Amino acid sequence: MSRAGLGDGSIDEEVERWKLDCQHELNQMRLAALAPNIKAMEERAQRIVELTRKPGMPVEVNAESMRELKALELLGYQKATDHELRKAIAFALDHKNPEKLRALAVAQSFFAKALARGASEEFKKATEMTLESATLTGRHSTDLALRAKPIDSAPAQVARAKNEQRGAKRFADPVLAVTVQSATFQTINWSISGLLLADCCHPGIEPGLETNITVFLAQRPPLVIPARIVRVDGDNRRTSLTFSEQSPPEVWAFFKKLILSKAASV
């Protein structure tokens, strides 16, 4: 390695190598943040900090590297928060309460780190509401009578199947158009984990059926969601269904935005 000629504009080969190493670590940190793989992201961040402390590293390179590092940490912690919340809801729907509680605790930890790194107010509000939904999901309606206050235009005395008694906070608005088995219905209410459909008593729609549904909302592209029919109430002509844990990330983002719009209108 050479440090010759530093005063006459010559290139310091060691510093140039450090700069390349730093960029490589930033690129790998981005991949880890997007995964999200928090352990790998934090390890890359530590290596970047060590590189910026090398003697001779340009001040402007250090400043830009640290700016990007902080942005990537925010990205990673936000994605990790969402990832753990999705896991918590999936565990709740499978009645795995200990696993759900662990996932919620991890989500809270990542959420705190995201806030410490400057997460937006929009992310904060959406996550707080999603945390509430995830916490309530899987709990029996008798436990939630005073807390969840579900919005439901159907008679309250209609019995629900055991696996339908989920406490995810429900919303009546906006009303969504939903296609199931080639027929289209409107929602009575919806939550981050499922839908309740009105006038839905269609041949071929039976409890336990796993199928793709299509959700329509004005001024947004249709969204295809893997779902499972939980219960068909023939007397009241309504059907409840839950989203599959195999649902793509777009589904999560879609309902988070709807929940956030509800928060903004309060």
Could you give the residue ranges of the DSSP H alpha helices within the chain?
Answer: 13-34, 38-52, 59-93, 97-116, 121-136, 249-265
Claim to verify: residue 14 and residue 121 sit in the same structural domain: yes
Q: Which helix (H) or strand (E) holds 232?
A: strand 223-233
- Residues 92, 177: one domain? no
Partners of 213 in the beta sheet? 225
Looking at the structure, do residues 122 and 191 belong to the same domain, yes or no?
no
Tokens in use for 230? 């939980």
Give the total number of structural domains in the chain. Answer: 2
Do residues 182 and 259 both lie within one domain?
Answer: yes
Please give the residue that has the higher pLDDT: either 260 or 41.
41
CA distance 228 to 86: 17
Tell me the CATH number at 251. 2.40.10.220
Please report whether residue 155 resides in a domain: no
> Which three-class secondary structure state does DSSP give residue 43?
helix
39 and 113 within one domain: yes
Q: Write out pLDDT tens, residues 38-94.
A: 999 999 999 999 999 998 999 999 999 999 999 999 999 999 998 898 888 878 777
Per DSSP, the three-state class of 164 is helix
Residue that finishes a domain, picked among 110, 136, 162: 136
Six token digits for residue 104:
């919620």
pLDDT digits (tens, 9 = 90+) for 150-180: 434 333 333 333 334 445 678 888 888 999 9
Q: Are 181 and 112 found together in one domain?
A: no
The verdict on 221 and 120 lying in the same domain is no
Task: Quote the CA–CA distance of 266 and 3 in Å, as a whole number.
Answer: 63
Q: What is the DSSP letter of 220?
A: S
Give the domain extent around 175: 170-265
Are residue 234 and residue 127 in the same domain, yes or no? no
Q: CA angle 31-36-40, nearest 5°?
A: 65
Query: Above 80 in pLDDT, residue 6?
Result: no
148 within some domain: no
**pLDDT tens track for 92-127:** 777 788 898 999 999 999 999 999 999 998 888 888
Among candidate residues 116, 136, 156, the one where a domain is terminated: 136
What are the two backbone dihedrals, phi and then psi, of residue 197, each rounded to the nearest 5 degrees? -105, 140
- 126 plus 177 within the same structural domain: no
Residue 143 lies in a domain: no
| 29 inside domain | yes
